[in-house]
Amino acid sequence: MKILMTASEAVPFVKTGGLADAVSSLSAALAALGHEVRIVIPRYYGIDRKKLTKLEGAMGVPVGSGEEWCAVYTTRLPGTSGKKSSAENPVTVYFIDHEGFFGRDGIYGSHAEPDFLDNPRRFSFFCRSCFQLCRKIHWYPDVLHAHDWPAALVPVFLKYGERRGVSSEEGSFANTVSVLTIHNLGYQGIYSKDNFSCTGLGWDVFYDAGFDDWNMMNLLKAGINSAGRLNTVSPNYARETLTQAQGFRLDGPLNSRRADYSGILNGIDTVVWNPQTDKYLPAPYSAKDLGGKARAKAALQRRFGLKESAGLPLIGMIGRLAEQKGIGELFGPSYGSAWSICRDMDLQFAFLGSGEIWAENEVRSLASRLSNFKAHIGYSEEISHLIEGGADFFLMPSRYEPCGLNQMYSLAYGTLPIVRNTGGLADTVANYNQETGEGTGFMFDDLTPSAIYNTVGWAVWAWYNKPEDILAMRIRGMKQDFSWKKSAKQYLELYKSAGA
């Protein structure tokens, strides 16, 4: 099968969240199953052109009633399938290079302008360029797989225009099907409908495809209505998004596509996230020999300036400081539970992340007042691996979580997740049963400061009173298979059901 992934992010070139991991790892997993997979993303300012190869000639892309010109660069996807040499990795990546749209700091926005005003124009251009790229390289995919709102116009363009009345010896999109994956329903690409003309589509399509959203235009909504098949990144989140409570106002359109909508759990890159080979850990370890984990804990305590102690339970946390992650209930000034957790319990807490300014300030303030709470504000691959390896527990009190990667990394590293029972967290973690010792983590239902406090308290109680259960849970988690292989096969089934 020939598959073109269209997305705004792909590791290792550009990443702001789990989307980037999913696009590259899924592509590599599909290629490993023998399929021809290519990826197309914008060439942002931060992606060095010198490391890429330029395709000959310029490429014209229709934008509204006019045309914009761009260049196309290419390279191979390195490393994601475990192969060091890029020549061995069969996934080709294309970069759409347009200085005006992508030659700036920031992917979707900047500090001064959190959501770039010209995003509808930038990503409409990008989506149209995916079709032009295929024409340029004379390669027509069986599946156009679009990811999230920045690529949501791809299925719309395919349905309303690109597929119509084209058939030539060269090939065409006549038999191409589209799939749209929703990585986070909280981000939909909603803009003033004054921007609609940049799509080049007629106003009949505005209403037919369902762009309209309270007098605005909603890119994801139009993608949902137009894609051949839809999915999100865990079965439980798929169910949740069909409800009014968690559907972000798109539960109606999703329900109307219910028969074509499913959930496929993301995998993890088991080469990068493997305690037996992790280059950031002081010593390798496995479910058979956990000795290296104790060394990772000591290294983490040293790195964060925490007291070196094997006996104190160490809680780790990594992620964006965004409302989605439950940070109000954890770090909210005066009511968040982090302060009382660290004050009342015999434990240590190591935090890595960045995001909303008030939360960054609160985290810094906690670190200055508590000797057992330390934080690194920023982004660091190295520290994230050290936390996953060295912590005993991993806290994720998410308000909602489409899939979540960190809890899977934690399970693979024998670090027990403490999570809210929501989205992909519910699909990947099994709650501890203190009667039988079963489970792989600790879960709570309500997102309240006291629920977080009590569940962390429960985990700490088990640490001190049920060490044999803690060890058994660690090993159980480490033995689970979160590789992309199973999910890649499910995506193939989805492509087939779309008609590929």
Beta-carbon contacts of 330 under 8 Å, excluding residues fewer than 6 positions away, are 336, 337, 338, 395, 397, 449, 452
Q: Is 414 left (phi over 0), alpha (psi -120 to 50) or beta?
A: left
Q: Please identify, among the stretches 137-145, 254-262, 346-354, 410-418, the one whose residues bind ligand ADP according to the rule CB under 6 A.
A: 346-354
Tokens 């790229």 appear where? 133
State which H helix or E strand residue 60 sits in: strand 59-63
Does residue 219 touch ligand ADP according to CB under 6 A? no
Reference 31, options 60, 70, 4, 12; nearest CA is 4
**Cα separation of 7 and 152, whole Å?**
9
* C-beta of 341 vs 405, nearer to ligand ADP: 405
187 versus 196: smaller Cβ distance to ligand ADP:
187
Residue 164 in tokens: 């119509």
Residue 475 near residue 414 (C-beta atoms within 8 A): yes
Closest to ligand ADP by CB, 9 or 97 = 9
Which one, of 97, 2, 19, lies nearest residue 52 by Cα?
97
Q: In residues, how long is the chain?
A: 500
Cis peptide before 12 (omega within 30 of 0): yes
What DSSP designation does 112 have? Answer: S
Give the residue with the Cβ less far from ligand ADP, 185 or 341: 185
Q: Per rule CB under 6 A, is residue 318 in the interface with ligand ADP?
A: yes
Q: Tell me which stretch binds ligand ADP (CB under 6 A): 39-47, 86-94, 205-213, 312-320.
A: 312-320
- Residue 60 or 186 with smaller CB distance to ligand ADP: 186
Should residue 469 be labelled a site residue for ligand ADP when binding is judged by CB under 6 A? no
Does position 397 interact with ligand ADP (CB under 6 A)? The reply is no
Number of residues engaging ligand ADP in binding (CB under 6 A):
17
- Residue 381 or 481: the one with the smaller Cβ distance to ligand ADP is 381
Does 405 interact with ligand ADP (rule: CB under 6 A)? yes
CB of 19 to ligand ADP, least distance (A): 6
Q: Regarding beta strands 216-218 and 212-213, do their DSSP bridges make them parallel or antiparallel, or are they unpaired?
A: antiparallel
Q: Which is nearer to ligand ADP, 30 or 405 (CB)?
A: 405
Classify the C-alpha dihedral 303-304-309-313 as positive or negative. negative
> What is the rounded distance in angstroms from the CA atom of residue 381 to the CA atom of residue 386?
9
- Of residues 353, 439, 449, 457, which one binds ligand ADP by CB under 6 A? 353
Sheet with 348-355, side-by-side order of all strands = 373-377, 348-355, 314-321, 393-396, 416-420, 442-444
Figure out which of the listed residues 62, 141, 316, 404 binds ligand ADP, where binding follows CB under 6 A: 404
Nearer to ligand ADP (CB atom), residue 156 or residue 363 = 363
At residue 315, φ and ψ (nearest 5 deg) are: -100, 130
Residue 246 binding ligand ADP, by CB under 6 A = no
Is 380 a binder of ligand ADP (CB under 6 A)?
Answer: yes
Token pair for 110 = 């900047």
Among 384, 410, 428, 440, binds ligand ADP (CB under 6 A): 384
Determine how many CB atoms are found less than 10 A away from the CB of residue 206.
16
Contact between 352 and ligand ADP by CB under 6 A: the answer reads yes
Q: Is 379 in the site for ligand ADP (CB under 6 A)?
A: yes
Secondary structure class of 136 (helix, strand, coil): helix
Q: Does 320 sit near ligand ADP (CB under 6 A)?
A: yes
84-92: long-range pairs with CB below 8 Å, 24+: 89/28, 89/31, 90/31, 90/36, 90/37, 91/24, 91/27, 91/28, 91/31, 91/37, 91/38, 91/39, 92/38, 92/39
For the bound state, the minimum distance from the C-beta of residue 371 to ligand ADP, rounded and expressed in Å, comes to 23
User: Which of 273, 347, 280 has its CA nearest to residue 309?
Assistant: 347
How far apart, in Å, are the Cα atoms of 420 and each of 63, 241, 449?
Answer: 44, 17, 12
Asked if 3 interacts with ligand ADP (CB under 6 A), we say no
**Segment 19 to 58, residues that bind ligand ADP, using CB under 6 A:** 21
Instruction: Considering the complex, state which of residue 222 and residue 419 has its C-beta at the smaller distance from ligand ADP.
Output: 419
Question: Is residue 489 part of the contact set for ligand ADP (CB under 6 A)?
Answer: no
> Could you say which of 14, 18, 29, 265 contacts ligand ADP (CB under 6 A)?
18
Instruction: Output the smallest distance, CB 31 to ligand ADP, in A.
Output: 21
Closest distance to ligand ADP from the beta carbon of 399 (Å):
11
Minimum distance from residue 69 beta carbon to ligand ADP (Å): 33
The answer to whether 273 touches 412, Cβ cutoff 8 Å, is yes
Supply the minimum distance, in Å, between the C-beta of residue 18 and ligand ADP: 3
- In the complex, least distance from residue 353 CB atom to ligand ADP, rounded to whole angstroms: 4
Among 319, 326, 390, 414, binds ligand ADP (CB under 6 A): 319
Span interacting with ligand ADP, options 247-255, 403-411, 457-465, 471-479, rule CB under 6 A: 403-411
Contact 500, 6 (CB under 8 A): no
Is position 300 an interface residue for ligand ADP (rule: CB under 6 A)?
Answer: no
Query: Cβ 17 to ligand ADP, closest distance in Å?
Result: 3
Q: Under a CB-based contact definition with an 8 Å cutoff, are residues 313 and 279 in contact?
A: no
Q: Any contact of residue 73 with ligand ADP (CB under 6 A)?
A: no
Q: Could you give the CA distance from residue 56 to residue 58 in angstroms, rounded to a whole number? A: 7
What is the C-alpha separation between 154 and 130, in angstroms, rounded?
Answer: 8
Which residues of this chain interact with ligand ADP, rule CB under 6 A?
17-18, 21, 318-320, 352-354, 379-381, 384, 403-406
